[in-house]
Amino acid sequence: MERMMNFDRNIMANTRLVISTRLVVIVGPSTTGKTTLAKKISSEFKGKSIIISHDDVVNKINKNQPQDKIDMQFRLLLIEQIKDAINDESNKLIILDTLNIGYQSLLAFLCIIKAICYSNEITLFKTDLPFNLHEKYIRERAKKDSKTDLKTILAQRKFYYSNDGSLKASFSNQYHDYLVDDEYIITNPEAITIQFDIVPKIELFKQVWVK
């Protein structure tokens, strides 16, 4: 695992994640252990937590409509779920399991969250699995789900690692300080340990999302 501090990728001596924010965002291609990591964080947290999953939101959308309408419905539903989770003060930890493999899509996603309903810091995890481990996860998924699309997953991985992908691209200092508190690169979701250091903070503002 690597932790990105001031845009320098310094490899840490251990694999401990320190979560000090109420909102955690996990990004990466399909089948890279994002859901496994989200569940691990949630299960080890001593308090009420909620996971908002990209796949779960997709499954709630009517697919019998044009793609642009599907995309718009997905964005609206996802943001609505995030807003509801943040405004529910009983949720002490909110974990977003998202795709956002493109730099621009990740930037827009985080800016929308900040603009609409959340003013405090965000912890960002980016999955960066070696190909052999990613292949292992894909094979395991294929055994359970015959609809696993290897071509699409590999295309996502290629884009994620490109200059326009959210793994390689770094936010400018201005955006980084505003959007995220800590940023981690996860190379093996199964090998990490987690430490929580969350201090409750008062939201500076809460805006109502207007559909």
Render pLDDT for 122-155 as a digit per residue (tens, 0 to 9): 888 999 999 999 999 999 989 988 888 889 999 9
Grade residue 3 by pLDDT with cuts at 50, 70 and 90. very low
| pLDDT mean across residues, the chain | 83
Radius of gyration of the chain from its Cα atoms, rounded to whole angstroms: 17
- Report the alpha-carbon angle 74-145-33, nearest 5: 65
Give the pLDDT mean for 180-204.
80
Residue 23 to residue 77: CA distance in whole angstroms? 18
The pTM for the full model equals: 0.85
Residue 179 to residue 29: CA distance in whole angstroms? 21
Grade residue 96 by pLDDT with cuts at 50, 70 and 90. very high
Q: What is the 3-state secondary structure (H, E, C) of the chain?
A: CEEEECCEEEECCCCEEEECCCEEEEECCCCCCHHHHHHHHHHHCCCCEEEEEHHHHHHCCCCCCCHHHHHHHHHHHHHHHHHHHHHCCCCCEEEEECCCCEHHHHHHHHHHHHHHCCCCCEEEEEECCCHHHHHHHHHHHHHHCCCCCHHHHHHHHHHHCCCCECCCCCCCHHHHHHHCCEEEEECCHHHCEEEECCCCCCCCCCCCCCC
